[in-house]
Amino acid sequence: MAKPTLLLIDGNSLAFRAFYALYNQVDRFTNHEGLHTNALVGFNNLLDKIVDPFHPDKVLVAWDAGKSTFRTTKFDNYKGNRDKTPSELVEQFEPLRKMVALHGIKNYELIDYEADDIIGTTAKMGEAAGYSVTIVTGDRDMRQLVSEDIKVLITVKGVSEVDEYTVAKVAEVYDGLTPNQIVDVKGLQGDSSDNYPGVPGIGEKTAIQLIKEHHSIPELYERLDDMKKSKRKENLITYKADAMMSLDLARIRTDAPLTISLDDLDYQGIDYQALVEFYQHLDFKQQLVKLANMGYVIGGGQADVAGQDATVTPTDLQVEVRELTANNLAHIEELGNEVTFYLELDGENYHTAAPVAFVIGNAAHGYFASRDIELLYQKTPLNAVLTDEKVVKNVFNAKAVIVALKRLDVALNNIGFDLLLVAYLLDTNDNNNDLGALAQQNDYYAVQTDEEVYGKGAKFAIPEVDADLFEHLARKAMAITNLKDPLMAKLTAHAQLDLYTDIERPLSMVLAEMESTGITVDANHLLEMRSKFAERLSELEQQIYNQAGEEFNINSPKQLGIILFEKMGLKPIKKTKTGYSTAVEVLEQLSDVPVVESILRYRTLAKIQSTYIEGLLRVIHGSDSKVHTRYLQTLTQTGRLSSVDPNLQNIPVRIEEGRQIRSAFVPSQPGWKIFSADYSQIELRVLAHITGDKHLQEAFIHDEDIHAATARRIFGLAPEETVDPNMRRQAKAVNFGIVYGISDFGLAKNIGTDRKTAKAIIETYFNEYPGVRTWSEAVIAQAKQDGFVETVAHRRRYLPDINARSFNLRSFAERTAMNSPIQGSAADIIKIAMIRMQTALKEAGMQTKMLLQVHDELIFEAPAEEMATLHEMVPRIMDSAMQLDVPLKVETHEGLTWYDAK
DNA sequence: CAAATCACG
DNA sequence: ACGTACGTGATTTGA
């Protein structure tokens, strides 16, 4: 029969390990009260991964009782060089003990002894009583306790992985020594971290060798006379007292006067229900999700930022869902004037994915699910409800549902609550596109993630069993329904209701229309470009092989680095984590070498070929010769949109050969043209507005060339002096730098000067534009106090690192504190303009279609006869989108293709 | 699946 | 003394 098990855990050493494993992110791990939790997180992982599955018969976590022990009495300097324990860790010790207790484990400490000695003594007790003993620690010296019945697990990297030490493993590491000889090795070697001396000149290697020969320190000294004369012998004699003392300090006690016995150590098992409350206090959401899914009731809730109690919903909520069929559609007519609707697609691209099932319902009347997609578009009561302007529809990702339904020729009208959009506005970090994950982040646990239910990658499959699918869909719908009130209340508390109802929600309708409309791409034009590029690329390829003297993969930075910097002996200017950098800025400094020039040329063309020509050809829809991008409205940290599948916000423009790609973007109808309108210097105008700086505002009010105006100021030019192009270039870099949250280092790198000069330029800038300096300081101070910054439309960005101890993290947060209100307010403005634009086009009965948004510009297609109207109307709407203290300026262009609209 | 590179505002 | 410009997405390598 197997022996009973005794598990002994070194609380102190593991708490330190856990704390320092996540130390660089210590400020990321805090609960709502500001308590640091990084050591708690790590310790909890350890308990989860090692202790709970082990399920020991008896178990103990040992702690140090205080700083002074019998060892400090014997040797004043014992552990004397240790830094003071950081307060961020000290505050976690009490909760750590509580966590241990809730896991059904005894905590123990003993005055005058260290945790090691408690473990040593208990281990021997257990061994004698016939237990199989396992010790978990981060302290390698504990290996001295290993025996036939005692093994030691030492944590490696972090705390969740361990190395197991048995007698055989110790012998392997210590060259044949036994575990109890480790203290003799330590006695000779000393220990710098515990700060005891050993014998000078003897390190681990020599110590092991000496102990191997003489078995122990006392035996070594008995035979010391036989040792031939040497410096080592001299040291051994001189420092005998140190060696004997170190031996004593290194030895873990196995006879500590414990006040507990093995009877006190029975493993009690985990008190899950009590853990729920504890994890809620610590804000351990992941753990709560796990418990919720095990069926434990998550109740109560912690106060959130706005001071309301978060609603936390138990996972074992009753789910009643009925199948909707053509025969029971009458239920739909009884739902009333507010419903939740959720449409499931078989893929993430809603322009192409097939609808597979849906659910509709509300709290009062229950939920109805079906796989019968026809019910949506046939003339049914369901179709009527979706279209009905008087029935409010609560959804998750309105834009996706609107586009998908539009493909079925169904209009979805009157969107109320959009869970995806609202959660994003409340916290841009909640930008997960999975309903389950997002609900859980908002303390609602009665719904799983799609990955949990459907699987991912090759395993992705919608359940075939109706009951399984319908339950998941109903749970999603209920999450939307139940999160509406608490999240809308938060929006109001954050003064973000208008941002939602007047900007983001109407914008999602506008974007749905733009995406559905799509933009026509001339595939033949791209195919012609592809052949030309292919020819030039293969010529370049041969030329590079000749110049390099061998064939290699030019697309591999690794292979290229070897060719350039090893084989050809060029001077590496910059390194990356993995080797030599071969980025443009490096290659440009070497461009007098012929092969480097060819490679730069190759890179440019290969990028255009693979990303733009071939990439674009892949995503043209066969049915309408158009590309339909998806704008991600809930992703960026600043409030900008992003664009995927394909990304139409990074089509080349700066280099002529790339710019040619734009000539493949054409109007969808003969006789139509492409029209574009872009804001001029919108971010700097926003800067002038929110900083209130008079000089900056003056420049815009007088419609000056802003970079030239800045150049005049920072270089102190007299009115009659002209701004030379180099001055203007540098001033432009400074203006950009200010928007990005300037640093002397960054500016110096950008304009190719030294840091000192850059610093002086920045100083002059702030003196010339004092309002900018005042604002920068104020916005950072405000962020440090509130933890977030805001745009003009109350869009929020939380900056958890703004008070971090790490210079890097903190500096980054400070730069974003300056940049986000600027970039984000510009985003607010163009979003308002887009909504008004769409309305104005409809009201004017025009055929013009708004197609694309590229951060500060809008692209349209329109009949040639509407061009004149657009040149007047579009700038008028765009420049009046928001009233600032400086004018907004808009420039317009038209042409037969996007390329020509310049 | 991360890293490197390069396209845009 | 630290080591940085802000925000994105797509492609290709290579562990």
pLDDT at A337 over 80: yes
How crowded is residue A427: how many other Cβ atoms within 10 Å of its Cβ?
17
Rounded distance, CA A379 to CA A389, Å?
Answer: 16
* Protein-nucleic contacts, chain A 731-760 to strand B, CB < 7 Å: none
Residue closest to sugar C1' of C9 by CA: A647
Rounded distance, CA A772 to CA A688, Å?
Answer: 8
Say if residue A463 is in the same domain as residue A575.
no
Residue A126: name the closest of A64, A47, A57, A53 by CA: A57
Tell me the pLDDT band of A309, cut-offs 50, 70 and 90.
Answer: very low
Tell me the pLDDT band of A592, cut-offs 50, 70 and 90.
Answer: confident
Rounded distance, CA A522 to CA A587, Å?
Answer: 35
CA distance to A116, A126, A361, per residue, from A14 (Å): 12, 22, 51
Q: Answer whether residue A634 is part of any domain.
A: no
Nucleotide minimizing C1' to CA distance for residue A750: C5
- Of A177-186, A635-644, A713-722, A834-843, which range is least confident? A177-186
In this structure, is the CB of residue A606 within 7 Å of any atom belonging to strand B?
no
pLDDT score, position A643: 98
pLDDT at A498 over 50: yes
* Protein-nucleic contacts, chain A 806-865 to strand B, CB < 7 Å: 823, 854-857
Percent of chain A predicted with pLDDT > 70: 97
Q: Answer whether residue A582 is part of any domain.
A: yes
Residue A571: name the closest of A597, A546, A601, A596 by CA: A596
* Domain boundary pick from A312, A344, A375: A312
Q: Answer whether residue A869 is part of any domain.
A: no
Say if residue A45 is in the same domain as residue A82.
yes
* Domain boundary pick from A776, A806, A821: A821
Nucleotide minimizing C1' to CA distance for residue A747: C5
Q: What does the pLDDT average to over A750-769?
A: 94
CATH number at residue A390: 3.30.420.10
- Domain range for A785: 688-821
Token representation of residue A762: 């920045």
Say if residue A259 is in the same domain as residue A386.
no
- H/E stretch holding A63: strand A58-63
Q: Answer whether residue A845 is part of any domain.
A: no
Rounded distance, CA A154 to CA A143, Å?
Answer: 9
How crowded is residue A614: how many other Cβ atoms within 10 Å of its Cβ?
14
Q: Dmax of chain A from CA atoms?
A: 111
- Of A361-375, A449-463, A784-798, which range is least confident? A449-463
User: Which chain B positions come under 7 Å from a protein C-beta?
Assistant: 3-9
- The integer distance in angstroms from the CA atom of A197 to the C1' atom of C9 is 58
Say if residue A71 is in the same domain as residue A130.
yes
User: What tens digit of pLDDT does each residue of A172-202 get?
Assistant: 888 888 998 888 888 888 887 777 888 888 8
Rounded distance, CA A889 to CA A215, Å?
Answer: 87
The DSSP output letter for A835 is H
Say if residue A239 is in the same domain as residue A292.
no
pLDDT score, position A315: 62
User: What tens digit of pLDDT does each residue of A85-139 get?
Assistant: 888 888 999 999 999 999 999 999 999 999 999 999 999 999 999 999 999 998 8
In this structure, is the CB of residue A553 within 7 Å of any atom belonging to strand B?
no
Say if residue A214 is in the same domain as residue A110.
yes
Residue A67: name the closest of A90, A48, A45, A35 by CA: A90
CATH number at residue A776: 1.10.150.20
Say if residue A102 is in the same domain as residue A235.
yes
Nucleotide minimizing C1' to CA distance for residue A732: C5
Encode A338-357 in three state secondary structure.
Answer: EEEEEEEECCCCCCCCCEEE
The crossing angle, in degrees rounded to 10, of helices A770-786 and A755-768 is 100
Q: What does the pLDDT average to over A683-712?
A: 97
Q: Answer whether residue A833 is part of any domain.
A: no
Q: Answer whether residue A652 is part of any domain.
A: no
In this structure, is the CB of residue A559 within 7 Å of any atom belonging to strand B?
no
Q: Answer whether residue A656 is part of any domain.
A: no
Nucleotide minimizing C1' to CA distance for residue A581: B4
CATH number at residue A143: 3.40.50.1010
Say if residue A261 is in the same domain as residue A281.
no
User: Which chain C positions come under 7 Å from a protein C-beta?
Assistant: 1-15
CATH number at residue A620: 1.20.1060.10
Say if residue A203 is in the same domain as residue A351.
no
pLDDT score, position A303: 35
Say if residue A484 is in the same domain as residue A588.
no
Residue closest to sugar C1' of C11 by CA: A611
Domain count of the fold of chain A:
5
> Both ends of chain A: CA-CA distance in Å?
85
- Vertex A22: Cα angle to A20 and A28 (nearest 5): 135
Nucleotide minimizing C1' to CA distance for residue A575: B4
Q: Answer whether residue A832 is part of any domain.
A: no
- The integer distance in angstroms from the CA atom of A627 to the C1' atom of B7 is 18
**How many CA atoms, within 13 angstroms, populate the side-chain half-sphere of residue A418?**
25
Say if residue A14 is in the same domain as residue A142.
yes
Say if residue A743 is in the same domain as residue A765.
yes
